[in-house]
Amino acid sequence: MLVIMDPRATEADIQRVKERIQELGYTAHPIPGASRLAIGVTGNQGIEDRIYLEGLPGVQQVIPVTKPYKLASRETRPENSVVKVGEASFGDGSVAMIAGPCAVESRDQTLRIAERVAELGAHMLRGGAYKPRTSPYAFQGLGEAGLEILAEAREQTGLPVVTEVVDASQAPVVAQYVDMLQIGTRNMQNFELLKEVGRLGMPVLLKRGMSATLDETLMSAEYLMSHGTHAVVICERGVRTFASHARSTLDVSVIPALKRLSHLPIIVDPSHASGNRTSVIPLAMAGVGAGADGLMVDVHDDPEHALVDGPQALLPEDFRELMALLGKVVPALGRTFPVARAKKQEAH
């Protein structure tokens, strides 16, 4: 259930409500909003206990949240959530661009590509240090050495960094190096990982499981949110279908559906959805046309020799073309496409 506070409620009133929720054995989640102050209540089975909250000073209304996900539901928060990661902003009407190599392969490769995508206007850098691979014989990532390289790339370009965390025990270490933690498609329902990452309270990029329904995806977001982070961005990266012409099928229909049910931002990853460079720009346009709050694309300057996912990586000049196209299309959609102000490190 959701407790809607009167706009005139005092701090003491709010505190009292939170305490009463705890006394009932439930958890209180203050939901900051522009139009109202609400306190989400989780842990209750029904809404019978609302009588213990309704009479308290400063309480305007106690309403049921009918969806199984509470904190992620639009019933709980009618206005869009805005997730800010450095200069990048998701959910405020802009189209945020995350770009970089699929994997951190070496210091030189990552710094080179980071420099290029920063120059071309990316708002965030991506790169995997821990790679979940289908084959145990394939390159598994550089691990902590890769995280150090990502931190150096951030220093050098000023771009905030997102990277995947594959194991709950590594999450606190990964969190020290980057600005946003990514949960991959294969781990969307690794609930222990979700709990641990949620507890860190950092922004999270939650990739939809390749066979997950929207409700299941939102329940995974709920795991993160109920454990402590409210800054969750969902990523549609294609789902499994009978189609064999692409690695996955980009489900653009999930974007308006998610926006009806949830206040969380959603971005599209056309690289992993298609597996093919020539499809990336068309699918990126489809995602933005359907209302995505941003895009995440693989960029590599030597895709022939990339250790992971070379065939789907845009070359820097393709990325330039994508950015130029977005510069025209995004304003025409009534959205904004901020020019990234990546700060270069001054030479000392």
309: contact with Mn ion by CB under 5 A:
yes
* Residues 45-74 interacting with Mn ion (rule: CB under 5 A): none
Distance CA 294, CA 80 (A): 14
Using CB positions, name the residue nearest to Mn ion.
102
Answer with the entry of ligand PEP, Mn ion, none that 50 interacts with (C-beta below 5 to 8 A by kind). none
Expressed in angstroms, the distance from the first to the final Cα of the chain is 55
Q: Which residue's CB comes closest to ligand PEP?
A: 184
Nearer to Mn ion, 9 or 183 (CB): 183
For residue 343, CA distances in Å to 38, 86, 92 come to 38, 11, 22
280 contributes a contact to Mn ion by CB under 5 A: no
Please tell me the distance from the alpha carbon of residue 327 to that of residue 322, in angstroms, as a whole number. Answer: 9
Q: Nearer Cβ to Mn ion, position 75 or 309?
A: 309
Nearer to Mn ion, 96 or 306 (CB): 306
Q: State the Cα–Cα distance between residues 329 and 287, nearest whole angstrom.
A: 12
Q: Which two tokens stand for residue 82?
A: 């805005």
- Closest approach of ligand PEP to the CB of residue 272, in Å: 4
Total residues at interface with Mn ion (CB under 5 A) = 2
Nearest alpha carbon to residue 210 among 182, 234, 187: 187
184 binds, among ligand PEP, Mn ion, none (CB under 5 to 8 A by kind): ligand PEP
81, 283 in Cβ contact below 8 A? no
- What is the closest distance, in whole angstroms, from the C-beta atom of residue 183 to ligand PEP in the complex? 8
φ and ψ at 183, to 5 degrees? -105, 125
Contacted entry of Mn ion, ligand PEP, none for residue 312, CB cut-off 5 to 8 Å set by kind: none
**232: amino acid identity, one letter:** V
| Residue 102 interacts with Mn ion (CB under 5 A): yes or no | yes
Binding site for ligand PEP (CB under 6 A): 102, 128, 132, 164, 184-185, 207, 237, 272
- Of 294, 281, 289, 293, the closest CA to residue 333 belongs to 289
Contacts with Mn ion, residue ranges (CB under 5 A): 102, 309
